[in-house]
Amino acid sequence: MSTKIKHTSDQELIQRAREARERAYAPYSGFAVGAAILADTGQIVTGGNVENASYSLCTCAERTAVTKAISENMRHFEAIAISTVNGAMPCGSCRQILREFAGPEGDLRVIVAGDTGPARCFTIAELLPEGFSQEQLV
């Protein structure tokens, strides 16, 4: 079930994700994806998908943004916006990576935006119910 976008920063996140999409490297599929993740510090980190001729080595925009943020010592996130031409949802691998940084309740907001129509907002717990988490490693 999606929730309404309620934060003014959500629109900025969507815009930053769209800008990141313009810098994506997608020469094989032509399906560019951009992501912008909001850390609890207020910083926004962006990423675009990076394709490779060996498809299994491709990196999704969401994972690019998370990796960049982690490399800058950010570990806690409030929201991520994902931009595609048609509002496609994050893949399973990206959902699991996002779950890692969503806290025990999985309340990281995931905003999915296409070029037309309203953006949709979910929590990662909604997108990955019963996902594997740190709490299960005991």
For residue 136, what are the contacts with CB-CB under 8 A and spacing of at least 6?
none
Q: How far is CA 53 from CA 27, 28, 34, in A?
A: 9, 7, 20
Supply the residues annotated as catalytic: 62
* Dihedral (Cα; 66, 71, 74, 77), 10-degree rounding: 0
Residue owning tokens 């909001």: 38
